[in-house]
A and B are shown apart, each in its own frame.
Chain A
């Protein structure tokens, strides 16, 4: 019976991965199907004939690569900014006691309940006054602002999970406050920072509505806005090129994740044991 447990676990894991990965497989399949096949009743994962023209059209139409570059700039910049701001802020938030902490947590929760439609117009007017409308810097600031509450919320949970005894032990050994933070807290916080960075990057990379309204010039369009042009009026959607564009759009996120993936687990307890 015991011998069967491990294989069963692997089978379950494989099925789970297949379940999670199937939409991506289907997307990749759709990206190499002809319009006729996509609009037929035939359902098959493998295309009847490989139709690479979808990729050509996706790349040549509407400046997809330039939009991808814009998206990459905005996503990386807003991720870096949100991490720089949220790491110290979350530490303070987690370690504070009393009314200030309650007010801070309350503010985070309240800031999440406003629908974007409600804030888009005043936001647009403010950015225009600052000369940051239709501008990637403006969009980066908006993305950072919009992601910060969640980043704070996420990170303060990680900080709260770090035992204060470790910091006290460091202080007892004569380490300064900054040394304690640098050598004990930050290494333990690293997986949380990585997870938050991943979330921030993907949120910014995929964000549509702010970019739609704030960006006016095609040369500033981000990837979701350019992909949106494949969705036509009257329900006319260029499914093949859209799928091809979506596959290409997923690549930077996958690369970003693969770079940061190991950081999630490495250093999980780094600094907890003094070597």
Chain B
């Protein structure tokens, strides 16, 4: 009897499902143009800001309505590749410069060059705009950028008799000295989550003159020389010669390395600039922290960045309207608001200025925004096989190096041979 009731209930569910399905996916052919905007915003404040911007657009443009389709960062590449191949991609695609290269290569993204005004072109940082320019075409507008900065526990620096650096930039040698000076009594100078070190090493290489890649697409070549190995060697020396890096952090993610920082086990931590928001939220009460000046190597404070981007699906029936929406989304006020919500750095000078004025009194923002001006083009963005090389070759090789299982020569050999293997397969 119970079984029958259960079966009846299940049958009802199937019926309900069919009814629900029949009601879904309906569309109105007439009326205003509707653009689908697949947004990856994940922070509650950023989601709210995205909705606010879209709401304002929809109010001002009754004939071009934008519909937000919320998606997650995790596995979004698989979703996009299926959508593009099947011709069901959204009109407006939110992603990142590091991920759009294959789609640009396969000609899925509209050329936005005609929709980029001279004023906006000049407002974008050149390096950031370069990162979304493929074959002379701007295929996306950058929206948010992150840099790597040093967060420091002010109290521990003072206890070690170290003055908080105040210059426009700070050298890696200075960082090493401070790290040594603050390593005492169970406290380590630095915590750096390097379980997936490739992104950080590649992004920070320009400061040492490192480029890693020349050329584009399948023709890109990898060079691993002094400039490329300088930073891994420096970390190795700090960890094993100076003993000023908390060893466990070398095997942790960036976020995990924050816990020992909060606990006073490390005096400083290298993190993505966006962690400022998390530190402000999660650090214990009374935790006095600062952001140190942008890091500079022998070649300067440059960092290669992969900005978040907005692109237009080339097959969209409304490329022009979608491009106009992106132009609106990336105006000074909207970029400032979005980046404040996401604790990231605006890619335009005007939005960075606006944010600097607004957040002058907020801890760390002055240095974070200052680091944004040194963002430069990232050659790895144009190498088609970079993601594969990063995951299968570079990260394991760097991990072995940081665990002292291979030396610098071994690292260089693994990186170069690995590149050969992924590009010839």
Please give the residue numbers on chain A whose beta carbons come within 8 Å of chain B beta carbons, in ascending order.
35-36, 39-41, 57, 61-62, 72-74, 76-77, 79-81, 117, 120-121, 124-125, 128, 133-137, 140, 208-209, 212-213, 216-220, 225, 228-238, 259, 263
Contacts and interface: CB of A to CB of B under 8 A. Distances in A.
Given A213-B78, A235-B254, A140 B17 contact: yes
A137 B282 contact: no
5 smallest A-B Cβ distances: which pairs?
A232-B42, A228-B72, A137-B21, A233-B73, A76-B13
B25 A135 contact: yes
Contact of A233 (B24, B42, B86, B255): B42
B73 A218 contact: no
A125 B82 CA distance: 9
Given A39-B255, A120-B82, A229 B20 contact: no
A86 to B, nearest CB: 15
B357 interface: no
A229 B42 contact: yes
Contact of B25 (A41, A125, A134, A234): A134
B44 A40 contact: no
A125 B43 CA distance: 33
Contacts of B259: 39-41
Given A212-B78, A231-B73, A233-B73, A219 B255 contact: no
B89 to A, nearest CB: 9
Contacts of A212: 75, 78-79
Given A134-B25, A135-B25, A73 B13 contact: yes
Contact of B263 (A40, A117, A135, A235): A40
Interface string B82-109: 1101101010000010000000000000
Nearest to B14: A77
A231 B42 contact: yes
A217 B72 contact: no
Given A36-B284, A137-B17, A79 B10 contact: yes
26 contacts: A35-B278, A36-B281, A39-B255, A40-B284, A41-B265, A72-B13, A77-B14, A80-B14, A124-B86, A135-B21, A136-B21, A136-B24, A137-B17, A137-B18, A140-B17, A213-B82, A220-B25, A225-B72, A228-B74, A229-B70, A229-B71, A231-B42, A232-B43, A233-B42, A236-B42, A236-B274
Contact of B17 (A77, A120, A134): A77
B156 interface: no
Interface in B1-58: 3, 6-7, 10-11, 13-14, 16-18, 20-21, 24-25, 40, 42-44, 47
B70 A62 contact: yes
B349 to A, nearest CB: 23
Given A40-B262, A135-B25, A233-B96, A228 B75 contact: yes
Contact of A236 (B10, B21, B255): B255
A231 B72 contact: yes
Contacts of B272: 234
B11 A80 contact: yes
B146 interface: yes
Contacts of B255: 39, 235-237
Nearest to B81: A121
A73 B20 contact: yes
B88 A233 contact: no
Contacts of B20: 73, 136
Contacts of B85: 121, 124
Interface of B: 3, 6-7, 10-11, 13-14, 16-18, 20-21, 24-25, 40, 42-44, 47, 69-75, 78-79, 82-83, 85-86, 88, 90, 96, 146, 253-255, 258-260, 262-263, 265, 272, 274, 278, 281-284, 308
B75 A209 contact: yes
A216 B69 contact: yes
Nearest to A231: B74
Nearest to A215: B79
Contacts of B254: 235
Contact of A73 (B16, B79, B86, B262): B16
Given A121-B86, A233-B73, A39 B262 contact: yes
A133 B88 contact: yes
B380 to A, nearest CB: 17
Contacts of B90: 216
B258 A39 contact: yes
A39 B79 CA distance: 30
Residue from the set A73, A219, A236 with the largest chain B CB neighbour count within 10 Å: A236
Nearest to B264: A41
A40 B262 CA distance: 7
A80 B24 contact: no
Contacts of A217: 24-25, 69
B50 to A, nearest CB: 13
A76 B11 CA distance: 9
B263 A41 contact: yes
B70 A76 contact: no
Contacts of A218: 69-70
A206 to B, nearest CB: 15
Residue from the set B20, B72, B263 with the largest chain A CB neighbour count within 10 Å: B72
A234 B96 CA distance: 11
Residue from the set A39, A125, A213, A220 with the largest chain B CB neighbour count within 10 Å: A39
A54 to B, nearest CB: 12
Given A35-B282, A234-B274, A73 B17 contact: yes
A120 B308 CA distance: 27
B267 to A, nearest CB: 15
Nearest to B95: A233
Residue from the set A134, A140, A218, A229 with the largest chain B CB neighbour count within 10 Å: A229
